[in-house]
Structure 1
């Protein structure tokens, strides 16, 4: 998949007309249909007026190629973190709701449980062996203080997930570090849960988090891995089309200077 063209199709081309004549000449072409300017994202020439204009130093840093692909992956991870955060917020709200009306919920549960058993018998399912049923029964025996602390823990975990989501969505360096540290802290707990019982959901969650941590560490060069921060910033700067064209202009000027010097000799 060409993420550059895909993004341009969704957002439109990012054309820019620099005020420097030599640089503008490399990003501009005249056609029978009129002038065209090169998109800083996909590199195609787009007919019409440029979207922006100004000095080359003020040109927007437009991610392209692998950097754009990485941004898409990070935002998918951010969306997954948002879903997790919402789930834990709902669980925390449920714990507080149970705390405030524990007796009423217990009475309603005792009334509905016989109906659940009748339906379970028809489906060939034994509720007495259900972990969900046992968890609900145990929840009614918890004290209000315990339910409060459970809600606090669930809200805290949701906050961590949402902070991760913001950092990853905005493609911030601190977000990458935060995501790796926060995710790694909970990996031992997820592995311990698998020792109790292996389920598709638990295995899937563990694999997603493991792959996310390894991918962030390597591709984002965190903690000095794979070249570290210096290589990270160099890569981001060199991937910019404007930077590439400015380097080409500089190289062309050097070649012309060398030719003039040789002729003078």
Structure 2
């Protein structure tokens, strides 16, 4: 997939007219339908006046190629985080409602459990050893103060994931650091949960989080990896169309000087 063309198809081309005449000539073309300018993202010429003008140093740094693919992956991770936020907020709401009616639910559970014992016995379901019933009894035995702390913990975790998702969606450097740190903190907890009870869902979530941490840290060169911030900024500028054209002009100038014949030496 050509990520640059895909982005231009969705958001339109990005054209810019630099003040430097030699560079401007490389980005502009005359056609039978009028002038055309080269898109800074996909590199194709598009008809019409440029969207911006000024010194080449003030031109917008447009994501191209691999950088666009990385942006799509980060935003996919952000959507995954926001899906977790929805589940956590729903869980927090459930805990709050349960806390408000804790005593009534416990009385109903104690009264109704004996009524379903005959049916469970016919189905071969041992209620005394059921994991679901054990979980319900543990929750009903919890104090209202404990439930309040669980409610606050769920909201705090939802706020962390919401912040992480916003940073990743906006492609902010702090969001990438925030994501790696927050996700890494919870990986040992997920490993502990798998050690307690192995399930395909828990293993899948753990692998997704490990892959996300490695991908963000390595591709974005966080914490000094692969050259750090300096190498990351250099990579982005090297992919800029204006930088490529400026390098082409410099190379053409060096080739022209090298091809110029030397002056003959005059002898007295």
Whether the aligned pair in 2 keeps the contact of 1:64 and 1:239 (CA below 8 Å) is yes
**CA gap 1:248/1:145 in 2 versus in 1, 3 angstroms:** same
Structure 2 CA distance, aligned partners of 1:178 and 1:156?
15
Structure 1 position 111, deviation (Å): 7.3
SS in 2 for 1:17: strand
- Given the alignment of the two structures, is residue 77 of structure 1 paired with residue 46 of structure 2, yes or no? no
SS in 2 for 1:29: strand
Structure 2 CA distance, aligned partners of 1:224 and 1:105?
54
Deviations 1:80-103 (A, max 9, x none): 111112211221222122112212
Structure 2 CA distance, aligned partners of 1:157 and 1:82?
11
- Given the alignment of the two structures, is residue 173 of structure 1 paired with residue 173 of structure 2, yes or no? yes
2:101 aligned residue: 101
SS in 1 for 2:30: strand
Whether the aligned pair in 2 keeps the contact of 1:127 and 1:133 (CA below 8 Å) is no
In the TM superposition, 1:82-93 aligns within 5 A as 82-93=82-93
Structure 1 CA distance, aligned partners of 2:52 and 2:119?
65
Structure 2 CA distance, aligned partners of 1:182 and 1:108?
40
2:41 aligned residue: 41
2:53 aligned residue: 53
Deviations 1:75-124 (A, max 9, x none): 101111111122112212221221122123335556776898899899x6
Structure 1 CA distance, aligned partners of 2:12 and 2:124?
55
Whether the aligned pair in 2 keeps the contact of 1:164 and 1:178 (CA below 8 Å) is yes
Q: How many pairs align?
A: 264
1:137 aligned residue: 137
- Given the alignment of the two structures, is residue 230 of structure 1 paired with residue 230 of structure 2, yes or no? yes
Bigger radius of gyration, 1 or 2? 2
Structure 1 CA distance, aligned partners of 2:4 and 2:120?
53
Structure 2 CA distance, aligned partners of 1:160 and 1:4?
32
Higher mean C-alpha deviation, range 101-110 or range 19-28: 101-110
Whether the aligned pair in 2 keeps the contact of 1:8 and 1:42 (CA below 8 Å) is yes
Structure 1 CA distance, aligned partners of 2:195 and 2:75?
31
TM-score by length of 1: 0.87
TM-score by length of 2: 0.86
Deviations 1:49-99 (A, max 9, x none): 222233222211100011111011011011111111221122122212211
2:252 aligned residue: 252
Structure 1 CA distance, aligned partners of 2:52 and 2:232?
27
Structure 2 CA distance, aligned partners of 1:11 and 1:127?
60
Structure 2 CA distance, aligned partners of 1:193 and 1:21?
63
SS in 1 for 2:141: coil
2:13 aligned residue: 13
SS in 2 for 1:140: helix
Whether the aligned pair in 2 keeps the contact of 1:3 and 1:65 (CA below 8 Å) is yes
Whether the aligned pair in 2 keeps the contact of 1:180 and 1:216 (CA below 8 Å) is yes
**CA gap 1:108/1:219 in 2 versus in 1, 3 angstroms:** same
Deviations 1:191-242 (A, max 9, x none): 1111122222211110110101111121111122122222111111211112
